[in-house]
Amino acid sequence: MNTPAVTAFFDEATFTVTYVVADPDTGRAAIIDPVLDFDPASGRTSTKSADQLVAFVGENELGVDWILETHVHADHLTAAPYLREKLGGVVGIGKHVTAVQQTFKGVFNIVDLATDGSQFDRLFGDGDAFAVGNMAGQIIGTPGHTPACVTYVIGDAAFVGDTLFMPDFGTARTDFPGGNAAELYDSIQKILALPDDTRLYMCHDYKAPGRDEYAWETSVRAQRDNNIHINDKVSRDEFIAMREGRDAELGVPKLILPSIQVNVRAGELPVAEDNDIRYLKIPLDAL
């Protein structure tokens, strides 16, 4: 099995990990879950985080084939359009992004939003194949956190999005529209059926209590043995009860309102109005 070179870029403001995944033999690469910097207090965007990726790709003479989203993020804006402009590549996401678009088109009253996923270059279904250079890639559909969640398996590495966290932190919430604890359990079982030594890469880390450092790489074996929410000793019914109970007590993510209305557009910002200013909406009493 091919072993991709994986380089992580951690954005502490959103606790998000972006990955550059490269084929050492060909220099071809994929970028997974890139961040567009956004200050909610001022409404300002910047490309500081994305420019780190651009610099890394250039310094290492990589060619970008893919810019991949594990799902429609509710905690950061994606920099996919900016990176495609700078580096090329095909922007991909799970095909059930259409369900997310249909839900939030109404919430934000985005009248011009097509809900067929056409804003993205490639829509992936469960079991689809792709390649990064000479390395084979496969899609595992992993809904539960959102309907559009997918895991990207590239060589001996899997990029799980928000489906799993580090073993000492647990699993994703399932209380967003279209989320489902039973589906999340089934999705995680598909990930945990990969070979024990498969490297698993998280989309976020929040430093579990008692841990001093951020961490985002683990393995199938470590998750099966030690995940505090879902391990080989936890039944499906036990997990569902735990997850639904925890979700009932969680607050709304700080950046969900700006993030969702941008990310359902594949990262394209709203069109400027007649005063040449772009606006994001804040729906009142809707969520």
pLDDT tens column, 256-266: 999 999 999 99
Cα–Cα nearest to 23, from 135, 136, 154: 135
- In this predicted structure, what is the pLDDT of residue 2? 78
- pLDDT, average across residues 171-191: 96
Q: Across the chain, what does the average pLDDT equal?
A: 96
Would you say residue 244 has pLDDT above 70?
yes
pLDDT band at residue 1 under the 50/70/90 scheme: low
Token pair belonging to 121: 């270059």
Mean of pLDDT values over 123-141: 98
Contact at 8 Å (CB) between 54 and 87? yes
Q: Please state which CATH class domain 5-257 belongs to.
A: alpha beta
The tens digit of pLDDT for each residue in 190-236 reads 999 999 999 999 999 999 999 999 999 999 999 999 999 999 999 99
The pLDDT value recorded for residue 130 is 98
Residue 99 has what DSSP assignment?
Answer: H
Name, in order, each residue with C-beta under 8 angstroms of 15's C-beta and a sequence gap of 6 or more.
75, 204, 205, 206, 214
Assess whether pLDDT exceeds 80 at residue 267.
yes
User: What pLDDT, on the 0 to 100 scale, is given for residue 37?
Assistant: 98
Mean pLDDT of 13-18: 97
The domain spans of the chain are 5-257
**Strand segments (E) across 236-286:** none
Q: Is the pLDDT of residue 286 over 70?
A: yes
Exposed e or buried b per residue across 20-58, where buried means at least 16 C-beta atoms within 10 angstroms of its C-beta: bbbbeeeebbbbbbbbbbbeeeeeebebebbebbbebbe
**What percent of the chain lies above the pLDDT cut of 70?**
100
Q: Write phi, then psi, for 203 (nearest 5 degrees).
A: -85, -20
Residues 49-68 have pLDDT tens digits of 999 999 999 999 999 999 99
Whether the predicted pLDDT of 158 surpasses 90: yes
Structure tokens at 25: 């033999």
Q: In angstroms, rounded to a whole number, what is the distance separating the alpha carbons of residues 165 and 108? A: 29
Q: Quick check: 151 pLDDT over 80?
A: yes
Decide if 156 contacts 197 (C-beta within 8 A).
yes
Cβ-count burial 238-266 (b if 16+ within 10 Å, e if not): ebbebbeebeeeeeebebebbbbbbbbbb
Residues sharing a CB contact under 8 Å with residue 133, sequence separation 6 or more, in sequence order: 22, 23, 25, 26, 27, 28, 29, 65
Residue 276 has pLDDT above 70, yes or no: yes
Q: Please determine, for residue 48, whether its predicted confidence score (pLDDT) is greater than 70.
A: yes
Strands (E) across the chain are located at 5-11, 16-22, 28-32, 35-39, 44-46, 63-68, 77-78, 90-94, 122-124, 129-132, 135-141, 150-154, 157-159, 199-201, 217-219
Task: Give the pLDDT score at 84.
Answer: 98
Are the C-beta atoms of residues 159 and 19 closer than 8 Å to each other? yes
